[in-house]
């Protein structure tokens, strides 16, 4: 008995025996497993959503890069070469795109545009005479260069009768608001004399 008790200040107390080692409660493990599974499915759906957002962001980045490229090309054509026509700029950009697609090492846009100056078709866009005439002020208007008024219309006020062989339509007759016009229309169709 002396071994079972330990003296503490002269009082004997029974010795503590450790509890038998049993595992955690199975219902607690199942609850934890359900919670982890639920979190995993929520995170999986969130990852899929973020992948869609990332794809959309990449698409927008590409559109931005294309827009910036288009802007820089237009700005170069406007400022450096004075090409103000939107159709001309579009045609030059289209030619450059074709050149990029057909060559292994495409030239820079500036070099390509400089090469177009010698082209017989596109060269006229860069002609100095074209830019000078666009910038030159218009000649002053003199009395000799003022256009004359067009001649009076010889057919003005001439009224053409309706074909009397066609019957008079009631809707046409109702749309005429003036009584005198209605009477004139009836006379032309021989309804009154």
How confident is the model over 92-139, as pLDDT tens digits?
888 888 888 888 887 888 888 888 888 777 777 775 544 454 555 666
Write down the pTM of the prediction. 0.43
By the 8 A CB rule, do 164 and 190 touch? Answer: yes
Tell me the per-residue pLDDT of 4-52, one tens digit each, with 9 for 90 and over.
555 556 666 666 655 555 666 778 888 888 999 999 988 888 888 889 8
Q: Hey, which bits of 81-191 come out as E strands? A: none
Do β-strands 5-8 and 11-14 pair in parallel, antiparallel, or remain unpaired?
Answer: antiparallel
Tokens at residue 73, please? 């090309």
């Amino acid at each position: 008995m002396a071994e079972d008790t330990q003296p503490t200040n002269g009082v004997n107390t029974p010795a503590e025996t450790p509890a038998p080692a049993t595992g955690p409660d199975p219902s607690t493990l199942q609850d934890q497993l359900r919670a982890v599974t639920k979190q995993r499915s929520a995170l999986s759906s969130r990852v899929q959503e973020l992948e869609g957002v990332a794809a959309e962001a990449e698409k927008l980045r590409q559109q931005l890069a294309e827009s910036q490229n288009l802007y820089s090309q237009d700005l170069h054509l406007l400022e450096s070469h004075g090409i103000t026509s939107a159709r001309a700029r579009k045609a030059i950009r289209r030619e450059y795109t074709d050149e990029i697609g057909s060559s292994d090492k495409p030239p820079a846009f500036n070099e390509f545009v400089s090469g177009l100056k010698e082209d017989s078709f596109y060269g006229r866009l860069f002609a100095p005479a074209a830019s000078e005439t666009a910038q030159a002020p218009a000649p002053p208007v003199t009395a000799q260069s003022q256009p004359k008024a067009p001649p009076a219309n010889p057919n003005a006020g001439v009224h053409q009768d309706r074909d009397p062989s066609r019957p008079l339509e009631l809707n046409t007759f109702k749309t005429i608001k003036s009584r005198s016009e209605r009477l004139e229309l009836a006379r032309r169709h021989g309804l009154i004399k």
